């Protein structure tokens, strides 16, 4: 089998993988890299999800890359526009030949003797296997399983004579003209789908178990005319800074003064609904930002509810019947189409097997150093964005950090870097911290752990992360570097032994302390 040797191997051609490749092109143009993508297209989430109305719920000034301004006036962009933006970015950075489509990474094994990753790949089309070798591995595989969403089987589904669909596998030709649609769920997908489907459906019902905080934001940036007077790059940076500050202020205020924020959020919903819908459907039992908040452009969800094109029900499903759903309250919901917006199945590093020197790595045992490098896993990074503001804000600065780290390693002749927790800072919390959405609770046993303090504590704080990742020192007492002329193996007492390849001498700190001690005794 022919094996390709690379400096960096990127898994995934979504917004993060393409971003990482652009950062390499900009900062380390001499590095060789490929992007392995299991699908046939660029864009990840924005290519996979095709349900009506699919859009971002982050503003595009912060969801776009720092290095490539988003120029459309819409604040929350449609899926196809984001897909186009990612594709255009890849084209601008001439990434075409670096992306290998239909390559699913199944396994990556690190060897500390050879100082490289061996990456096993299965081709999606013909099932053939390929192998790649790389100095550094970057996981840009998002956070969920691409094969299927979370789709719990509900009682009586088999009796339903209508159509059941899941947003992750939206049937291209789904006909819902004049049909009664029930959307199960209360998250970002449900609040997007409900107004988007009302233009064709006879009626759309949103069926939720419990309410969510919903915030209406302007569809078009109110300052758009101001930005049009400025150079594009300046306007983008200013809009970005403003949106980061606003999002951060809302988050911090929600944590510090939950009652005040709750009152303000509910007051705005009441104003939007104008007494047409019972407020109990919009009054969550938890505090703002205990779970991800939903946003809607220009109150589109409230508008269709006001006009009676859609309705909202808060109840539990007893079972499907042949013509709809029977609820715990005894109410019957007639339906021709049921959309199960029941969420995602969380999966990290694309579900691959990661092995370090023969030992399998379990993500629930690891912490994430500076939110980028994986504890005890050499030369490996995981691009994992924010959950309270735009994902890409974090990915951008993480890519910058990685490029700085690679440059540092080149400058000092290091071949290997690995973050070690020497003082036991692991907690049992996951890296999502206090956010308690259903998909996070379901994945608790698979998620990396939160650290007690920096650099192991994953913070949802862009400004502090930006200082650390963009300007902070690379060297610290957590990162362990190995030079090109040393090999490593585990000593008989579990200590790390570093052997100089030329002289064969043990050059580990432990060995030098032992020599000093022996010398003192001999003296």
Ligand X SMILES: Cc1cc2nc3c(=O)[nH]c(=O)nc-3n(C[C@H](O)[C@H](O)[C@H](O)COP(=O)(O)OP(=O)(O)OC[C@H]3O[C@@H](n4cnc5c(N)ncnc54)[C@H](O)[C@@H]3O)c2cc1C
Binding site for ligand X (CB under 6 A): 11-17, 36-39, 44-45, 49, 56-58, 63, 104-105, 140-142, 146, 189, 350, 352, 383, 385, 390-391
What's the CA gap between 472 and 296, in Å, rounded? Answer: 37
Nearer to ligand X, 57 or 465 (CB): 57
What's the CA gap between 476 and 474, in Å, rounded? Answer: 7
Provide, rounded to whole angstroms, the least separation between the CB of residue 321 and ligand X. Answer: 30
Provide, rounded to whole angstroms, the least separation between the CB of residue 489 and ligand X. Answer: 30
Provide, rounded to whole angstroms, the least separation between the CB of residue 76 and ligand X. Answer: 7
Nearer to ligand X, 187 or 451 (CB): 187
Nearer to ligand X, 273 or 382 (CB): 382
DSSP string, 149-177: ---PPPTTGGG--SEEE-GGG--TT---T
Q: How many CB atoms neighbour CB 393 within 10 A?
A: 25
Nearer to ligand X, 34 or 325 (CB): 34
User: Rounded to a whole number, what is the distance in angstroms from the first to the last CA of the chain?
Assistant: 58
What's the CA gap between 63 and 72, in Å, rounded? Answer: 13
Q: In sequence order, what are the residues at sequence separation of 6 or more whose Cβ sits closer than 8 angstroms to the Cβ of residue 25?
A: 93, 94, 95
Provide, rounded to whole angstroms, the least separation between the CB of residue 297 and ligand X. Answer: 12
Provide, rounded to whole angstroms, the least separation between the CB of residue 493 and ligand X. Answer: 38
Nearer to ligand X, 83 or 482 (CB): 83
Provide, rounded to whole angstroms, the least separation between the CB of residue 37 and ligand X. Answer: 5
Nearer to ligand X, 166 or 180 (CB): 166
As beta bridge partners, residue 105 has: 121
Provide, rounded to whole angstroms, the least separation between the CB of residue 104 and ligand X. Answer: 5
Check if the beta carbon of residue 370 is closer than 8 Å to that of residue 478.
no
53: left (phi over 0), alpha (psi -120 to 50) or beta: left
Q: In sequence order, what are the residues at sequence separation of 6 or more whose Cβ sits closer than 8 angstroms to the Cβ of residue 235?
A: 69, 226, 227, 228
Nearer to ligand X, 217 or 507 (CB): 217
Element (H, E) at 270: helix 258-273
């Amino acid at each position: 089998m022919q094996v390709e040797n690379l400096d960096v191997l990127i898994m995934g051609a979504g917004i993060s993988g393409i971003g990482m490749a652009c950062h390499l092109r900009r900062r380390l143009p001499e590095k060789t890299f490929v992007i392995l993508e299991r699908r046939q297209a660029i864009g990840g989430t924005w290519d996979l999800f095709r349900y009506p109305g699919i859009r971002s719920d982050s503003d595009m000034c912060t969801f776009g890359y720092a290095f490539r301004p988003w120029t459309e006036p819409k604040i929350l962009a449609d899926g196809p526009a984001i897909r186009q933006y990612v594709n255009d970015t890849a084209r601008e950075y001439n990434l075409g030949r670096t992306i290998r489509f239909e390559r699913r990474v199944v396994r990556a094994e690190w060897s500390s003797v050879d100082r490289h990753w061996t990456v096993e790949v299965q081709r999606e089309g013909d099932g053939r296997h390929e192998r790649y070798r790389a100095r550094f591995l970057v996981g840009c595989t998002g956070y969920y399983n691409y094969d299927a969403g979370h789709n719990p089987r509900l009682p009586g589904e088999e009796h339903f004579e209508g159509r059941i669909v899941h947003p992750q596998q939206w049937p291209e030709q789904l006909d819902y003209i004049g049909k009664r649609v029930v959307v199960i769920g209360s998250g970002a997908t449900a609040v997007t789908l409900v107004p988007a489907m009302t233009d064709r459906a006879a009626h759309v019902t949103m069926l939720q178990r419990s309410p969510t905080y919903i915030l209406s934001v302007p569809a078009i940036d109110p300052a758009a005319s101001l930005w049009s007077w400025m150079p594009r790059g300046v306007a983008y940076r200013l809009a970005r800074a403003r949106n980061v500050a606003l999002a951060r202020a809302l988050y911090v205020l929600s944590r510090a003064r939950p009652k005040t924020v709750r009152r303000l959020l509910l007051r705005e919903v009441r104003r939007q609904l104008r007494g047409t819908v019972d407020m109990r459907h919009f009054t969550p039992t938890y505090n703002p930002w205990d779970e991800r908040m939903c946003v809607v452009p220009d109150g589109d969800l409230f508008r269709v509810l006001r006009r009676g094109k859609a309705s909202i029900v808060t109840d539990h499903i007893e079972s499907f019947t042949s013509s709809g759903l029977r609820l715990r309250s005894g109410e019957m919901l007639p339906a021709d189409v049921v959309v199960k917006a029941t969420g995602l199945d969380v999966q990290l590093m694309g579900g691959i097997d990661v092995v370090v020197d023969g030992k399998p790595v379990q993500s629930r045992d690891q912490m994430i150093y500076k939110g980028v490098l994986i504890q005890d896993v050499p030369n490996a990074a995981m691009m994992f964005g924010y959950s309270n503001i735009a994902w890409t804000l974090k990915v951008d600065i993480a890519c910058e950090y990685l490029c700085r780290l690679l440059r540092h390693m080149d400058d000092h002749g290091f071949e290997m870097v690995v973050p070690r927790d020497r003082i036991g800072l692991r907690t049992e919390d996951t890296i999502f911290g206090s956010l308690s959405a259903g998909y996070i609770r379901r994945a608790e046993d698979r998620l990396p752990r939160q650290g007690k303090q920096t650099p192991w504590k994953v913070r949802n704080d862009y400004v502090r992360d930006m200082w650390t990742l963009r300007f902070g020192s690379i060297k610290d007492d957590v990162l362990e570097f190995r030079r090109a002329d040393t090999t490593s193996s585990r000593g008989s007492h579990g200590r790390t032994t570093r052997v100089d390849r030329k002289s064969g001498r043990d050059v580990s700190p432990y060995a030098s302390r032992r020599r000093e001690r022996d010398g003192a005794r001999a003296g």
